[in-house]
Amino acid sequence: MRRLGLDIGEKRIGVAVSDPSGRVATPVSVLDARKLAGDPAQLRRLIEDYEPAEIVVGLPLTMAGEEGPQAREVRRFVSAAIEPAGVPVVYHDERLTSTLAHQAMAAGGADSRARRGSVDKVAAALLLQTYLDAHREP
């Protein structure tokens, strides 16, 4: 089953999608979070285009594993912008995905300017891939 992964930040939202079998996550795009807060139409178009069975949203937990102010903001955004689309939403721990995305891109030779524009969608793909791996059926 195809899933859409979202790494929701204050400024940007990284988007990734799985293949139809739900085994491999691929980075898709980066959206402007502030624009989507007022008009989620662009995000809803992505949902319509990919027709995911569920949406995996990164939940920014503290290093102690607790929900803080950022997690509450993500839940608020999901409630307002994503849940009305009618696709089931699941939350997945996103701790360190942005750090890992930066490290992977740097190891691949991407300079800081290239990383700035793509790190959010790479983080979304890492988030989604960890979710897919954790929920893979034998």
Tell which wins on pLDDT, 102 or 17.
17
Task: Round to whole Å and give the CA distance between 126 and 112.
Answer: 19
Query: How much is the CA Rg of the chain, to the nearest whole Å?
Result: 14
Distance CA 126, CA 14 (A): 10
**Is this prediction's pTM over 0.75?**
yes
Residue type, 104: A
Instruction: Report all structural domains of the chain as residue ranges with CATH numbers, in order of start.
Output: 3-134 (3.30.420.140)
- Write out pLDDT tens, residues 47-100: 999 999 999 999 988 777 788 889 999 999 999 999 999 999 999 988 655 555
pLDDT of residue 99: 54
Cα–Cα distance, 13 to 128 (Å, whole number): 13
90-138 pLDDT tens trace: 999 886 555 554 455 455 555 555 545 677 898 899 999 999 998 887 6
